[in-house]
Amino acid sequence: MTDRPILIAGRNGQLATCLRGLAAMRGLPAVALGRRELDLENREGIDKLIASIAPSAIINAAAYTAVDQAESEAAKVFSINRDGAAALADVAWQMNIPLIHLSTDYVFDGAKADAYDESDIPAPLNVYGASKLAGEAAVLAAHPLATVLRCSWLYSPYGSNFVRTMLRLCETQPIVRVVRDQHGNPTYAFDLAEAVLRIAQRSVTDDRRATAGIFHLAGQGETNWHDFAQAIFHERSRRGARIPSIEAITTEEFPTAARRPRNSRLDSSKAERVFGIRLAPWRHSLEACLDRLVGEGETDAEGNRAGWRQRNAPLSDHARGQQAVAPDL
């Protein structure tokens, strides 16, 4: 391996935070740049900035991800998710280094009965999905050897995600209503980060043609938002905290600005074949996430709860990654 750092575009987002934590734990040099240092909307000078860092690879963990808000600011969304992504891909191609780019299950319209594989034709229902699909194409046009990873329903102890939204509702609502007719694969950001780092390291050393193209990579097992919420409440309740009652509703009963696919389950078998990578079952990783968010006892200086280290000692790498304090890189 090389001593040159991996450049992470994004800093405080879910995936960026997990990537930083895991890289620090492994002693892998990494530099994470948030939008203040590297603004994907105002791209002037990013080639010089990145050249000064001399990275071994670029991971693009930055994106505009507010799905409903995206409907009313499409120009900004496309600027970040398409043009910003393409600019990073262009720099990586010029520097002859690997680029790993993240995309989404929301590129699909949900009409398929089965899980989507990489040969299925995308047809996004909303601005966010359309911008991410345009981003995939722009990235691969600028960097034909880029790796595009489509994941789904990302959750973690950080940032904005469904798990944290549901835990917040537990504090304030006696009853929570959640749609049961949208199906997908929840993905723990630490599991994804671990896979992304492995793929990044491999593309630095291996023939990059093997790692080029689009791959689906999501947590194992499928669910719907209602059952996901119910599992979150179950985990919270097991830890002695109060939970609301839950009501299953239809998409029509929960109007939102953006349309969402009824089915965006991803078939991740190509990633397993090519990379030998299979993410953990979402139910298992949800427990690790809830241990972080609803642990027992006091929180220590590193954000860990008393007893957490002991209870999780024999767990896999991603759980250990959670103990790492993401450093100020």
- Angle between the N-to-C axes of helices 85-94 and 46-53, in degrees from 0 to 180, rounded to the nearest 10: 50
The one among 19, 58, 86, 178 contacting ligand TDO by CB under 6 A? 178
Contact between 197 and ligand NDP (CB under 6 A)? no
Q: Does 152 bind ligand TDO (CB under 6 A)?
A: yes
Q: How many residues bind ligand TDO (CB under 6 A)?
A: 19
Would you tell me the crossing angle of helices 225-238 and 162-172 to the nearest 10 degrees? 60
Classify residue 48 as exposed, middle or buried by CB count within 10 Å of its CB (0-12, 13-18, 19+).
exposed
Between 165 and 245, whose beta carbon lies closer to ligand TDO? 165
Distant-in-sequence, close-in-space partners of 199: CB < 8 Å, separation ≥ 6: 100, 147, 149, 211, 275, 277
Q: Does the footprint of ligand NDP cover residue 34 (CB under 6 A)?
A: yes
For ligand TDO, the binding residue among 14, 17, 60, 65 (CB under 6 A) is 65
Give the shortest CB-146-to-ligand TDO separation in angstroms.
19
Please say if 188 is a catalytic residue: no
**Residues sharing a CB contact under 8 Å with residue 103, sequence separation 6 or more, in sequence order:** 132, 133, 135, 136, 148, 149, 150, 151, 214
Take residue 314 and report the two structure tokens written for it: 């024999």
Options 64, 106, 116, 128, the catalytic residue: 128
Binding mask 134-173 for ligand NDP (x = CB under 6 A): -----------------xxxx----x--------------
CA distances from 5 to 8, 155, 189, 200 (A): 9, 26, 21, 11
Residue 194 lies near ligand TDO (rule: CB under 6 A): no
Which lies closer to Mg ion via its Cβ, residue 173 or residue 237? Answer: 173
Tell me which residues in 85-104 interact with ligand NDP (CB under 6 A): 102, 104
Dihedral pair phi/psi, residue 39, rounded to 5°: -95, 115
Whole-number Å distance between alpha carbons of 317 and 115: 28
- Site of interaction with ligand TDO (CB under 6 A): 65, 67, 104-106, 152-154, 162, 165, 176-179, 182, 225, 254, 256, 260
- Site of interaction with ligand NDP (CB under 6 A): 10-16, 34-35, 38-41, 61-65, 80, 102, 104, 132, 151-154, 159
Which residues are marked as active site?
128
